[in-house]
Amino acid sequence: MNQLLFETIETAGAAIRNKRISPVELTQMTLNQIHEYEPRVNAFITVMEEEALVQARQLEEELLNNIVRGPLHGIPIAVKDILQTKGVKTTGGSKIFEDWIPSEDAAAVQKLREAGAVIIGKANLHEFAMGATTENPHYGSTKNPWNVTRIPGGSSGGSAVATATGMAFGAVGTDTAGSIRLPAAMCGTVGFKPTYGVVSRRGCLPFSWSLDHVGPMARTVQDAAIMLEVIRGHDVKDPATVKRNVPVRFDSLGDLKGVRLGFYEPYMFSRIDADVKWVIEQAFRQLESLGAEIIPIDLPGIDEALNALKAIAQSEVVSVHEPLLKKYGHLYGDDLKYRFEFGSDISATIYLRAQRRREQFVRETIKQMNGIDALVGPTNVQPPFEIGTMVPEMAISNMFTLGKTPLANILGFPALSVACGFTTENLPVGLQLIGKPFTDHRVLQIGDCYENSMPWVKALMMMPGEGSAASSNK
């Protein structure tokens, strides 16, 4: 294993800028890593070997002329295969789009390239991003690098696995009910869902346009912030994006004195695995030892709001897929077929009431969070289960039973998952922080401080453990 592939974006970027390693060398090392480990974990639908090397050569030439595009100059980054890539097929994890070669990049991909990132490949995902397991009937299941018999979480499972195994320094994912944060937690990496409106969704095949978010996945919180700073920004082609300049970067804190974290136990600890709960409780003690105060708070209307999320997501996704379903229904996986049946029954009245309920809940939650920096709790409440054990009828509820991520989507608030420890079976657990609108930098800052206080976790996260895909020589 080449240790440089597990360094931070900051360290690898500095090595490139100081000409200790060239973009071509780093890209080739990353491709070698992919050749070695990809057969074990199936993280990619398309590895962009030729395109990546062409891009790296151009970036190398620029460096020789003292041109540095930005913090990602020469850094290999993966992109979830639901975001368009110019000249490279974009499947959405679906058979229906297997032949589509877009003529334009998605907004986030365009910004990554402008900042010098080398797009290394298109990461596997749950079909159309509509599930939590990344068991894809068309492109195969992605495997958890900590135990290759387990799911990596989803829907951005390939992105999380590529990041965890040194096959990319980070990835861009999408998150409609937890699809960035859940796989990040289950693979021992970092995932950040920005405030709704901070990152453009242009060029992303939609799932549910009022809940969809695009965001960074990385190995450290600082790396996620570096990527977010690159991909954020107003876009006239995504009417949800905001014009305000949302701050992202932060200085690391030495402690969390004065930080107040709200904890709503009835939601955060409901149906939690005992092992996972123990890990999260230890993380709470660590936050307190850093000076943070964990305060019990109430979230009135949360159950109605989460039911509203289900109604909104299902209505919007049926609206997107209806024309395709009529003609190509046979090309969808069994779990998606079941989801579409459920969504078709929701009336316009129920949908509009759900949107209304959502607004009320946002207002109420902002009030409840007065004086609170962020909500705190687990990302995943269950360890990843065995691949192949998902029942199609249960797929729709997986995101709700595996994690506590949907709350931040119905709110649209910024939410971070940061690695915080392992179950007794050596499977990663994620700690979740949910901030108020446009306090993305604050959430990242708190997460960064926690992460820096747990160097053993951080070190382990960069080397998936004994018996795992990235360390074994099977």
Measured distance CA(339)–CA(368) in Å, rounded? 33
| Of residues 2 and 355, the one with the C-beta less far from another protein | 355
Is residue 440 within 8 Å of residue 374, measured between CB atoms? Answer: no
Q: How far is the CB of 122 from another protein (least distance, A)?
A: 16
Which of 359-382 are b and which e, b meaning 16 or more Cβ less than 10 Å from the residue's Cβ?
Answer: eebbebbeebbeebbbbbbbbbbb
The secondary structure element, H or E, covering residue 58 is: helix 49-64
| Of residues 104 and 298, the one with the C-beta less far from another protein | 104
Q: Is 47 helix (H, G, I), strand (E, B) or coil?
A: strand
The pair of structure tokens assigned to 284 is: 């709470």
Q: How far is the CB of 55 from another protein (least distance, A)?
A: 22
| Of residues 137 and 247, the one with the C-beta less far from another protein | 247
Task: Return all residues near 81 (Cβ < 8 A) that are at least 6 apart.
Answer: 45, 46, 90, 91, 92, 93, 122, 123, 124, 125, 158
The secondary structure element, H or E, covering residue 263 is: strand 260-263
Place of tokens 């018999």: 149
Measured distance CA(152)–CA(171) in Å, rounded? 15
| Of residues 298 and 322, the one with the C-beta less far from another protein | 322
Sheet holding 76-80, edge to edge: 44-47, 118-123, 76-80, 170-175, 213-218, 190-193, 415-422, 428-435, 374-378, 260-263, 293-296
The pair of structure tokens assigned to 70 is: 């930005």
| Of residues 241 and 382, the one with the C-beta less far from another protein | 241
Q: Which of 159, 179, 315, 417 is catalytic?
A: 179
Q: How far is the CB of 318 from another protein (least distance, A)?
A: 10
Q: How far is the CB of 87 from another protein (least distance, A)?
A: 11
Q: What angle do CA 397, 313, 270 make, to 5 degrees?
A: 35
> Cis bond leading into 344, ω under 30°?
no
Let me know if 344 is a catalytic residue.
no
Let me know if 155 is a catalytic residue.
yes
Q: How far is the CB of 194 from another protein (least distance, A)?
A: 13
| Of residues 185 and 318, the one with the C-beta less far from another protein | 318
E-assigned strand segments in 148-243: 170-175, 190-193, 213-218
Q: How far is the CB of 259 from another protein (least distance, A)?
A: 7
Q: Which of 22, 141, 155, 156 is catalytic?
A: 155
Which of 165-203 are b and which e, b meaning 16 or more Cβ less than 10 Å from the residue's Cβ?
Answer: bbbbbbbbbbbbbbbbbbbbbbbbbbbbbbbbbbbbbbb
DSSP sequence for 290-311: TT-EEEE---TTHHHHHHHHHH
Interaction site with another protein (CB under 8 A) = 84, 96-97, 99-104, 195-197, 201, 205-206, 209-211, 238-240, 242, 247, 250-251, 253-254, 258-260, 316, 319-320, 322-324, 326-328, 355, 358-359, 362-363, 366-367, 369-373, 412, 436-439, 441-442, 445
Let me know if 80 is a catalytic residue.
yes
Q: How far is the CB of 252 from another protein (least distance, A)?
A: 8
| Of residues 149 and 355, the one with the C-beta less far from another protein | 355
The pair of structure tokens assigned to 361 is: 């809940």
Q: How far is the CB of 370 from another protein (least distance, A)?
A: 7
| Of residues 114 and 255, the one with the C-beta less far from another protein | 255
Q: Is 243 helix (H, G, I), strand (E, B) or coil?
A: coil
Q: Which of 80, 111, 122, 404 is catalytic?
A: 80
Catalytic residues: 80, 155, 179
